[in-house]
Amino acid sequence: MFFLIRLSIILAAPFLLWLGWTSSPEMVSAASMRYLGGIFIGVWGIAFHFLRKSAELSSLPGLSGHEQERVVWKLADIRRRVWWIGGIAIVAGFLVWLIGSMPSLAESFIAPLSIGLLVGIGVSYIVVIPGWFNEIYAFADEIRLREDKKRRTETAIKEIGDSKKTLSRDTATSA
């Protein structure tokens, strides 16, 4: 599902920027490229916020050894993905600025298509990261729910044991 959404964003952005460029060629200029560069700053901000939130998983109580190992591997994969996104955002932001600041290239139809492709890639990451947040929170909620069930079970077993002791003392004193 996310793949199709990302693909449609990546393919639609160049078309939309080219369409806008045909009616207003000033869209592809150094002055307007700094606004499109803001998209990549947003991608960086969201990605590193995600990285900070994912680090909270390492302190979840009640993880078994296997689950803790899974979390460590998952967090390493998350860090790798976030740095990959950050690298792509920096390169894409630089290329957007470079293409927009070259007057000879900015007049060509290739400029809005290439800038649109880069912007589409940045926006597609903005769409993916909330799904990653959902995965993290679902895992944390599952662990918390399991810990709550375990605590309630232990409390119920303790109460049953206490009531059996009380019942056996009552029957022993009445006999």
Report the C-alpha dihedral over residues 146, 147, 152, 157, rounded to 10 degrees.
100
Run of H or E including 24: none
pLDDT at 173: 66
- 């139809």: which residue's tokens? 109
Q: What angle do CA 117, 16, 6 make, to 5 degrees?
A: 50
pLDDT digit string, tens, across residues 108-130:
888 888 888 888 888 888 888 88
Q: What angle do CA 49, 53, 58 make, to 5 degrees?
A: 145
* Listed ranges 8-12, 95-99, 115-119, 133-137; the one with the highest mean pLDDT: 8-12
Max mean pLDDT range (7-21, 70-84, 115-129)? 7-21
Mean pLDDT of the chain: 81
Q: What torsion, rounded to 10 degrees, do the Cα atoms 46, 47, 53, 58 define? A: 180
Q: Locate 89 and state its tokens.
A: 């955002």
The 10 Å Cβ neighbour count of residue 76 is 10
Q: Where are the domains of the chain?
A: 2-174
Q: What is the pLDDT of residue 15?
A: 92
Summary count for the chain: helices (H), strands (E): 5, 0
Structure tokens at 104: 């000879």
Tens-place pLDDT, residues 130-146: 887 788 778 778 877 88
The pLDDT of residue 167: 67
pLDDT(105) > 80: no
Q: Is the distance from CB of 128 to CB of 84 less than 8 angstroms? A: no
pLDDT grade for 175, boundaries at 50, 70 and 90: low
